[in-house]
Amino acid sequence: MKKREQQRQQTRATILSAAEHIYASNGFVQSSTQLIAKEAGVAHGTVFLHFQSQEKLILAVINVLGTDITTRIHESAKQSHSLADVLRTHLTAIEIHESIYSHLIMDMPQLPKEAQQTVIGIQSIIAHHFDQVLNQLKKEKQMKDLPISFIFNTWIGLIHYYLTNCGLFAPHGSVLAIYKDELILNFLKLLEVDKS
Query: Would you tell me which residues interact with other proteins (CB under 8 A)?
Result: 71, 74, 78, 114, 116-118, 120-121, 123-125, 127-128, 130-131, 147-150, 152-153
> 159 or 166, CB closer to other proteins?
159
- In the complex, the smallest distance separating the C-beta of residue 147 from other proteins, rounded to whole angstroms, is 8
Q: How far apart are CA 82 and CA 129, in angstroms?
A: 10
Amino acid letter, 1: M
> 6 or 117, CB closer to other proteins?
117
- In the complex, the smallest distance separating the C-beta of residue 192 from other proteins, rounded to whole angstroms, is 21
- In the complex, the smallest distance separating the C-beta of residue 187 from other proteins, rounded to whole angstroms, is 16
> 7 or 124, CB closer to other proteins?
124
What are the beta bridge partners of residue 143?
A: 192
Single out the residue of 191, 91, 90 nearest to residue 147, CA to CA. 191
C-beta atoms surrounding 122 within 10 Å: 17
> 47 or 73, CB closer to other proteins?
73
- In the complex, the smallest distance separating the C-beta of residue 21 from other proteins, rounded to whole angstroms, is 25
HSE at residue 76, side-chain half, CA atoms within 13 A, is 23
- In the complex, the smallest distance separating the C-beta of residue 135 from other proteins, rounded to whole angstroms, is 11
> 47 or 127, CB closer to other proteins?
127
Q: How far apart are CA 83 and CA 24, in angstroms?
A: 29
Single out the residue of 175, 180, 16 nearest to residue 98, CA to CA. 175
Apex 95 CA angle, 116 and 130, nearest 5:
65
- In the complex, the smallest distance separating the C-beta of residue 106 from other proteins, rounded to whole angstroms, is 19
> 32 or 67, CB closer to other proteins?
67
Rg over CA atoms, the chain: 19
Residues near 112 by Cβ (< 8 Å), separated by ≥ 6? 55, 58, 59
